[in-house]
Structure formats: structure tokens, C-alpha cells
């Protein structure tokens, strides 16, 4: 089976009922099995492949997400564009819980994740370029869609990615704010990096659910889930309308990302 677009469902989107004519496929990769079975269905006249990032039962920690297997599986299916919803905390007063952020930069604070398909066993090193870690064309498309829908959003944002699964200390949260980070989460890295290595266009859809702990208020799972559920319909609208206008072919340099990446 083949698919044009991949969606990696974050918290609250681990349900492919958004699609029609769904078939589930199991794919083995050189990097193990993906997070769960992959659902392939139709949306907006396109064939979509859906992977629940944390598994259907949300039992996979951020550190343990088989990101290489997920991205490799999408590549095997022929996916050329990936939309990646997730929930994040805000490090800025103006990034209000309920807002959507279209990340354009990240700061990596992870420590235990393999970030490349090319390791010692492959016998070569891939120096992939991520100066612009999101596909600029796909970001432009999804921003225009969200504007037309009238949904409140931020066109830019720097995402600091922490290892998790614990939340930050107050000292850490204040430090990240001093680095000019705007939002904080646990899953962007290495997902966007591996998508670039696979020469797949990728963009994140970050939903703000809380103010982290810098505002002297502890992060509460119940509060996160409440905001997430209130905003999930907006995310679905964005996905539906974006899928409709994503071109069949890649019109950017993501498809040539490996050119010049090897010494």
C-alpha cells in the first residue's frame, strides 16, 4: 500500500477515525516496529498514513518512541509530507493555552535519542542540514490554511525539546525562557531531523496546553487534558483543510536534503 501524506498523532489525536476506508498495516523496518500499526485511509481526496506517536494506549515514553521506525515506515509507504500535531507548554505570556504554534526553530535538550539513520553499522556519517528544521513550503501552506479558518495561532516559535517524561523544574523553565525559547515539549527531536534525513517534508502543529512552571503554577495533567480536548477540533480542522491543498509532489529542497550531506 502507498500513502501521500503521513500524520503522526500526538496526545489527543491517537485516533484515526478522522479518516474513511481505513486499513491497518503492520510494517517491519531495520529499526524495529513503529509505535503501533499504521492506519491508512482517505481524507480530503488524499491517501493518509496515520501513526499514533505514543501508541494507541499512550504507553510509550517520549524517550522510547521508535522514531526511526516511524519515519522509515512512512518512507516505505511513499509518504512525501508529514503533519505532526503535539501538545506543548508555553514559555511566553503571549503564547496562551489553547493557541496553535507553527514552530520554525528548536533547541535540543534531549540526551538519550538516536538522531540519525546513519550509524556505525552503515559505515558513513550523515551531516544533515537543519538550519530550517521545518519544511518552509509546508509551513507556509499550513499557516495560510489556519489564517483562513480564523483560528488563533503564532506563525513562528522556538521549541525547546526536553528528554522527559518528567516536567521541568522552575529553574530549568526560567533558564529556557532566558534562551528565547517560546514553547517546550518532548517529541519534536529527533522526529523532524529524521524526516529531513528521509527527504520528507515535515511541519509541526503545536497546541499550547499550559504555562510550564515559570509562572509559579505546577503543570497538571488534568489541566493539560482539559485544554487539549477543548482544542482538538481546531487541530482536526487544520489537518483536514491542509491535506486538501498539499501538492502531490514536493516543491522544495527537502527532497534533496541528502545532497552534500556525506563527507
Catalytic residues: 210, 212
Closest among 163, 159, 70, 68 to 114, alpha carbons compared: 68
Q: Give the chain's largest Cα–Cα span.
A: 50
The three cell numbers locating residue 90: 508555553
C-alpha cell at 149: 479558518
Q: Which contacts qualify for 216-222: CB closer than 8 Å, 24 or more apart?
A: 216/170, 219/89, 219/167
Cα(201)–Cα(254) distance, integer angstroms: 6
- Are 83 and 237 a contacting pair, CB within 8 Å? no
Cα angle value 65/70/75 (rounded, 5°): 160
CA gap 14, 249 in Å, rounded: 27
Amino acid at each position: 500500500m502507498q500513502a501521500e501524506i503521513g500524520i503522526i498523532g500526538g496526545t489527543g489525536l491517537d485516533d484515526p477515525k478522522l479518516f474513511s476506508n481505513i486499513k491497518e498495516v503492520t510494517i517491519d523496518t531495520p529499526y524495529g516496529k513503529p509505535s503501533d500499526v499504521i492506519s491508512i485511509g482517505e481524507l480530503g481526496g488524499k491517501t493518509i498514513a496515520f501513526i499514533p506517536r505514543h501508541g494507541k494506549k499512550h504507553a510509550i515514553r517520549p524517550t522510547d518512541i521508535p522514531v526511526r521506525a516511524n519515519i522509515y515506515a512512512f518512507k516505505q509507504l511513499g509518504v512525501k509530507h508529514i503533519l505532526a500535531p503535539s501538545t506543548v507548554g508555553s514559555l511566553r505570556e503571549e503564547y496562551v493555552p489553547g493557541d496553535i504554534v507553527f514552530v520554525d526553530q528548536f533547541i535540543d535538550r534531549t540526551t538519550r535519542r538516536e538522531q540519525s539513520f546513519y550509524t556505525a553499522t552503515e559505515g558513513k556519517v550523515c551531516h544533515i542540514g537543519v538550519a530550517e528544521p521545518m519544511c518552509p513550503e509546508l509551513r507556509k501552506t499550513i499557516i495560510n490554511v489556519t489564517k483562513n479558518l480564523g483560528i488563533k495561532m503564532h506563525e513562528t516559535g522556538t521549541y525547546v525539546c526536553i528528554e522527559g517524561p518528567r516536567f521541568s523544574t522552575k529553574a530549568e523553565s526560567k533558564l529556557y525562557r532566558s534562551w528565547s525559547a517560546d514553547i517546550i515539549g518532548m517529541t519534536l527531536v529527533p522526529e523532524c531531523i529524521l524526516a529531513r534525513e528521509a527527504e520528507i517534508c515535515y511541519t509541526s502543529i503545536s497546541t499550547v496546553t499550559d504555562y510550564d512552571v515559570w509562572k509559579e503554577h505546577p503543570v497538571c495533567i488534568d489541566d493539560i487534558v482539559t485544554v487539549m480536548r477543548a482544542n482538538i477540533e481546531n487541530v482536526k480542522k487544520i489537518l483536514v483543510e491542509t491535506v486538501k491543498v498539499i501538492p502531490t509532489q514536493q516543491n522544495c529542497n527537502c527532497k534533496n536534503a541528502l545532497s552534500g550531506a556525506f563527507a
